[in-house]
Amino acid sequence: MRDYKQFYINGEWVDPQTVNDFDVIDPATETVCAHISLGGEADVDAAVAAAKAAFKTYSQSTIADRIALFERIIEIYKRRIPEIAEAIRLEMGAPISWASSAQAYSGLGHLQEAAEVLKTFEWEEDLGDHRIFKEPIGVCGLITPWNWPLNQVSCKVAPALATGCTMVLKPSEIAPLSAYLYAEILHEAGVPAGVFNLVNGDGPTVGTALSKHPDIDMMSFTGSTRAGSLVAQNAAPTVKRVTQELGGKSPNIILDDADLTKAVKYSVREMFSNTGQSCNAPSRLLVPRKQLPEIEELAVAAAAKARPGDTAEKTTNMGPVVSDVQWNKIQGLIKAGIEEGAKLLCGGPGLPDGVDRGYYVRPTIFSEVSNDMTVAREEIFGPVLVIIPYDSEEEALEIANDTVYGLAGYIQTGNIERGRELARKLRVGNVSINGVEADYNIPFGGYKQSGNGREWGSHGFTDYLEIKAVSGYESA
């Protein structure tokens, strides 16, 4: 049992100002795996005050000092990857193989990329008699989700540290364990007191207090579109910058010249990875109607390779969803798909065969789905794939863009020019052609109700910077 009841404020682990214990549940066993405390406004005030005081000096630190700091953080992080992976396995149910190879290493990847960007980033430029400066925005409030715990922590903390900002992090109270280890890593690496602060808590209390706080200069939020909208509303009176990485219902278009076996296998695997709990999951599979029977057969065969089970076993490749709340939501949406007339190819309501506990969902595929059905409109956030047939490429594009979301898109084709042309027309922030994965140096973020701003790499620095123009700087 892990006991993580303290908060990290001003370089020290401190007790919360009000006792409010909270149980962290291992979703694979439905048992308590840790205890944390939920903070309140007073804890937020203390953390923000520490960050505000630290900004005066850390914002003036040299680039060489920040690079050296990142080198120490990265070295310690590498050493603690096994601990991080185990924490992620417990807090959100990732199979240990996935927690080790994908989840834990994603946090490291953002640190390494930020360190590389620091070495060459242009902080100043001259425009005639004027000099343009890029300066740290100030104190940042960071709110992160449970589905990619350290990926989302690191892609916010890394650019904040790199640009000279200070910060207060509120990780998800559902999956807070890896963030606690992250704080220990930063402390051991010598991050100056007050630069990084961590307060656990729920959204309505700690999240709202951060968003409204007059001494927070910028809010970076990842989570649901509903919660992101509330963050923006709470931040509006103090006119602070708000960046949001929100929901998605991403289209995955198989064109009629694609290698079907390869394309379908990829599509199902990507949808079921992380148990479907990724905002950019390719959850709507758009396929040529004339190829639908063959694609259905291939999809069912690919889904059969999902192996739900004990998350500590390396042979398990699908864990549970994160909570009973999520499980019940997904069950309701699966039932809605059946009631609205979608064709159930595999899966369905209930637990997978051989599983008698844990928040496991049967790997589910619907076919003959129309884009107005509930399962095609709502972000399910579980291992549920919907197959939508189309009759022309123009119709596929129309269906793909017919959503309030715009985070990601996927294209499978045998003709790269067709893929490039279609990618230009998708109203999304990220497109993958033929399964090419994103690197940590490209911008990540969405259009429409999938949010605003960009994270990752050099583009991820932008929202943490203010622009100052000094005229007459070069005058004699």
- Opening angle at CA 311, ends 305 and 317, nearest 5: 20
Which entry of 140, 165, 279, 346 is annotated as an active-site residue?
279
Give dist(CA 226, CA 354) in Å, integer: 36
33 part of the active site = no
Tokens describing residue 383: 């291992």
Selection from 24, 9, 3 nearest residue 91 by Cα: 24
Give dist(CA 138, CA 128) in Å, integer: 28
Phi and psi at residue 412, to the nearest 5°: -120, 120
346 part of the active site = no
Q: Which residues, 6 or more positions from 143, have their beta carbon under 8 angstroms from its beta carbon?
A: 170, 203, 207, 210, 219, 220, 221, 222, 223, 231
Which entry of 86, 91, 245, 379 is annotated as an active-site residue?
245
In contact, 131 and 122? CB cutoff 8 Å: no
In contact, 129 and 475? CB cutoff 8 Å: yes
Q: Which residues, 6 or more positions from 417, have their beta carbon under 8 angstroms from its beta carbon?
A: none
Residue 320 half-sphere exposure, CB side, CA atoms within 13 Å? 30
Residue 316, SS3?
A: coil
**What single-letter amino acid sits at 453?**
G
Q: How many angstroms from the chain centroid is the CA of residue 387?
A: 24
**What single-letter amino acid sits at 329?**
K
In contact, 31 and 38? CB cutoff 8 Å: no
Cβ–Cβ contacts within 10 Å for residue 93, how many? 29
Q: Which residues are catalytic?
A: 245, 279
